[in-house]
Amino acid sequence: MRLLVLLVLLAGCPAPARPTLQTGTLVPSPGEPRIKWTRVESPADVPAEPPAAGTYRIHLIDVGTGLSILVQGADFSLLYDAGTNDREEKPRRILAYLARALGASGDDLCGEPGPKRPLDDLVLSHPHFDHASAMDLVIHCYDVHDFYDSGRVSEAKFYRALVDALALSPATRYHTAASVPDDHTQAGAHVAAWARFSEGDVVPLGAGARFTILHAEPKAVKDINENSVVIAVELGGIRLLLVGDAPSGSRQDPSYPAGEVEQFLIDHHAAEIRADILQVGHHGSKTSSRRAFLDAVHPRLALVSSGPKVYGHTVLPDREIIEELGKIGAKVLRTDERDGNCPLRGRIGGDDGPGGCDTYIITIGKAGK
């Protein structure tokens, strides 16, 4: 009986975090770029200047329970999602990190005020709080050139605040997969500059970099996760796949057949989803990352952004997903490794809250360097 109870308890527990080395490198094949990761232990570990020409940075920002990934080149910046579901975190962690990586920008609402700085591309995967809670302030604080979302409207306050921020930023072009309304009104706010995008569109970022839109569903489907905007980012010969919370269906073992968005991507974009680096879907939940999908992507590096908030009876990531990533040979970087006992002091964004302890910077460098 005791054994049975123990097994039931373990079934609801997240996969245990095995501390990752502070730095690591994926051994490149001849002529391909090098991929190196570093865990941020202090604010000084975040470079204040853009990467050199021909190199790129991916910042897996530890926002607690949520997702925010910053991609930089010498001549561009892209932010994919900006949200957290932890009350202690609010938007401050994301804004503090952007101030370090891109420079302080905006007024007193932005934490560290400074001259308005550019953020070239901002992508909202889907309108869930843990992906979008800081979006309105990012738009307020930075000179966002282009904003992308599926066009799925949410009645939630955070989404209305986001659209209100867009309405107050007339220089920001709002890209959507939905039809542009004649009156340019979204969620009750008038947005000046609109453009419609389609699956398969290629968006240039900077020298040697671009992203391709692989999925965006504007319809009001039952599961908002199915609205996730999925993009494949090309960075000098390395591909990063950003999937948001793109699902395969209900919570199942990874051996279960793929479905929903993951099966769509396999069916329609098999070549494009093959990637060196994968942002693991839905924070490592068993609703995503079916074996068939992971085999199709076959990443060498897997990024899991998760935190301590309990969803139902589950804290993500699920053990089965982490084990499945190991089976395909992917190196896993997780933002929840030290949530229970963070040894750092002076974390970017403050020392209260679970975030800021396990942020990673992945550097893509020239061959042989």
**Domains and their CATH numbers in the chain:** 25-365 (3.60.15.10)
Per residue in 183-207, pLDDT tens? 999 999 999 999 999 999 999 999 9
Sheet holding 301-304, edge to edge: 202-206, 209-215, 230-235, 238-242, 277-279, 301-304, 331-334
Nearest to 92 by CA among 109, 115, 72: 109
Q: What is the pLDDT of residue 354?
A: 95
- Give percent helix, percent strand, percent coil of the chain, each to the nearest 5: 20, 30, 50
Q: What is the pTM of this model?
A: 0.94
For the chain, which residues score pLDDT lower than 70? 1-21, 367-369
Please report the pLDDT score of residue 240 as a whole number.
Answer: 98
Largest CA distance in the chain: 65
For position 4, what pLDDT does the model report?
A: 43
Beta pairing, strands 118-123 & 143-149: parallel
Burial class (CB in 10 A: 0-12, 13-18, 19+), 195: exposed
* pLDDT tens profile 126-136: 999 999 999 99
Give backbone dihedrals phi and psi of 92, rounded to 5 degrees, phi first.
Answer: -60, -35
- Which residue, 176, 104, 116, 175, is CA-closest to 140? 116
